[in-house]
Amino acid sequence: MKILVTGGAGFIGANFLNLLVPRHPEHTFVNADKLTYAANLGSLAEIATAPNYLFTRVDIADMAAVDAAFDEHAPDVVVHFAAESHVDRSISGPREFVRTNIEGTFNLLEAARRTWKDGQGLFHHVSTDEVYGSLGTEGLFTEDTRYDPSSPYSASKAASDHLVRAYHRTFKLPVKLTNCSNNYGPLQFPEKLIPLMIMNAQDGKPLPVYGQGTNVRDWLYVEDHCEAIWTVVQRGAVGETYNIGGNNEVKNIDVVHGLCNVLAQEMGRPPAELLGLITYVKDRPGHDLRYAIDATKIKEQLGWSPRETFETGLRKTVRWYLDHKVWVDQVRNGEYRNWIEQNYAGR
C-alpha cells in the first residue's frame, strides 16, 4: 500500500511515521508536509533514508500542489494529520487555521474523490475532542456528543470533520475519523503545556498557569494515539468515527506539579525550586473547562486501549526532553523564539 501522511513532520505525524515505517516495510509512506514552524525534519532522522519512506513538501491549501502529489504518488490511503494545531495561535491569528484546516482538508478530499473510483481508497481524518466544546464537571464525550467548538482552532477542525463526513455521504468517499484528547510525549513543539513547562522549568523561567489551573484535560501518550490511529486504519469501519482518550483526567495545576516533581528528581534539584516558578496568569479567552473521552467504542469494537499511564508517560517525556538537547536547541533557536517573545512575553 502507498500511504500519504499529511503533516508527518509535526509532533503526532512524526511519531506515527517513526513507529510504522520500520514496522511495515511492505508499505510505502509518503510524508506530505508544508514544513511550517511546527515541523521538524530532524524528528524523522531515524527513518529519513528508509527505502519505504519519502518526503514531499506540499502546502495542502494549494490545490495544484495537492493534485500534483496525488498524481505523482497515487496513494491508496491518506492519513491526514496536517493542521494548524495550537489554540492560542488560533486566537492571535485565526486566518491560517481556516486556510489549512478547512481549505486544506477540502483540497485533499477533492483530490481523493478525483483519484479514487468505486469505493477505492481510504481517507483517515485525524481530529480532536475540542470539536465537542467544553464539559462541566460531569460526563464524557462520546461519538454522538453534539459539536460545540469554542476556539477558532476547534471550529476549523469541526468544519473539516463535517466536510469529511459530507464527502462520505454525498460522494461515497471511504472515510474514517478519530477524535482524540490531549497528546503528550517526545517531539512536541514547546508551545503546548507540557513541553513549554519542561523548557521553562529548566531555564528557571516562570511556569504560566492560565486562570486558576483548574481546567481539566484527558492526557494520552502520543504513541498510544498512533497505535489507535493505525488500528482504525486497518480494522475500523468505513464511515465511522472513533473517540480516542487516555482515561487520564488531570487538572492543569496537577500536571504542572507532577512535572515539577519528576523534573526535580531527574535533574537532581529540590522540587520547591521548580514549584516556586509557578505563576498564575490571565486566562485564555473561551477556555474550555474540561475534556474527557469515553473510548468504549474503540476499546470494545477494535480492542484498542492505552498502554501508558500518565505517571510512566510523563517520566518518559521528561527524560526525552532532557536527553535530546540538539532537537530542543534547534527548535528553540528558530521561529519559536520570536513567537514566544511576541505572544507569551511578560508571563
Q: Which residues are designated catalytic?
A: 129-130, 153
Which of 3, 4, 5, 9 touches ligand NAD (CB under 6 A)?
Answer: 9
- If the CB atoms of residues 182 and 241 are measured against ligand DAU, the closer one turns out to be 182
Supply the angle between the helices 222-235 and 11-23 in degrees, to the nearest 10: 60
In angstroms, how far is the first alpha carbon of the chain from the final one? Answer: 48
Residue of 3, 196, 262, 263 interacting with ligand DAU (CB under 6 A): 196
Instruction: Find all residues with CB under 8 Å of 338, minimum gap 6, and list them.
Output: none
Question: Which CB, 13 or 75, lies closer to ligand NAD?
Answer: 13
CA–CA separation, 263 and 281 (whole Å): 22
Q: Taking CB under 6 A as the rule, which mask of x and - marks residues 130-159 in contact with ligand NAD?
A: ---------------------------x--
Residues 64-93, interacting with ligand DAU (CB under 6 A)? 85-87
Ramachandran angles phi, psi of 183, nearest 5°: -95, 155
The minimum distance between CB 181 and ligand NAD, in angstroms, equals 7
For CA atoms 141, 91, 185, 162, the dihedral sign is positive
State whether residue 152 is helix, strand or coil: helix
Q: Which does 59 bind (CB under 5 to 8 A by kind): ligand NAD, ligand DAU, none?
A: ligand NAD
Which residues face 94 on adjacent strands? none
How many angstroms separate the Cα of 306 from the Cα of each of 54, 115, 151, 320?
29, 35, 28, 20
Helix ranges restricted to H, 135-270:
152-171, 193-203, 222-235, 252-267
189 sits near ligand NAD (criterion: CB under 6 A): yes
| Minimum gap (Å) between residue 272 Cβ and ligand NAD | 30
Q: Please select the residue that binds ligand DAU; options are 155, 209, 228, 292, rule is CB under 6 A.
A: 209
Q: Which is nearer to ligand DAU, 121 or 186 (CB)?
A: 186
Task: Record the cell numbers describing residue 38, joined without a space.
Answer: 511546527
CB 116 within 8 A of CB 73: no
21 binds, among ligand NAD, ligand DAU, none (CB under 5 to 8 A by kind): none
Provide the minimum distance between the beta carbon of 117 and ligand DAU in the complex, in angstroms, as a whole number: 33
- Of 61 and 274, nearer to ligand NAD (C-beta) is 61
| Angle at alpha carbon of residue 141, lines to 137 and 144, rounded to 5° | 140
Note whether 33 binds ligand NAD by CB under 6 A.
yes
Q: Give 28 or 36: the residue with its C-beta nearer to ligand DAU.
A: 36
- Do the beta carbons of residue 263 and residue 278 sit within 8 Å? no
Phi-psi region at 7: left, alpha or beta (left = phi > 0; alpha = psi -120 to 50) = left
Asked if 257 and 206 count as a contact pair (C-beta separation under 8 A), the reply is no
Residues binding ligand NAD: what is the number (CB under 6 A)? Answer: 31
The interface partner of residue 196, options being ligand NAD, ligand DAU, none and the CB cut-off 5 to 8 Å by kind, is ligand DAU
Neighbouring C-beta atoms of residue 325, cutoff 10 Å: 9
For residue 328, state whether it binds ligand NAD (rule: CB under 6 A): no
Choose, by CB under 6 A, the member of 6, 40, 107, 252 that binds ligand DAU.
252
Out of 18, 28, 145, 182, the residue judged to bind ligand NAD by CB under 6 A:
182
Positions touching ligand NAD (CB under 6 A) are 6-7, 9-13, 33-36, 38-39, 58-61, 81-85, 100, 104, 126, 128, 157, 180, 182-183, 189
Positions touching ligand DAU (CB under 6 A) are 85-87, 128-130, 181-182, 192-193, 196, 208-210, 215, 217, 252, 284, 291
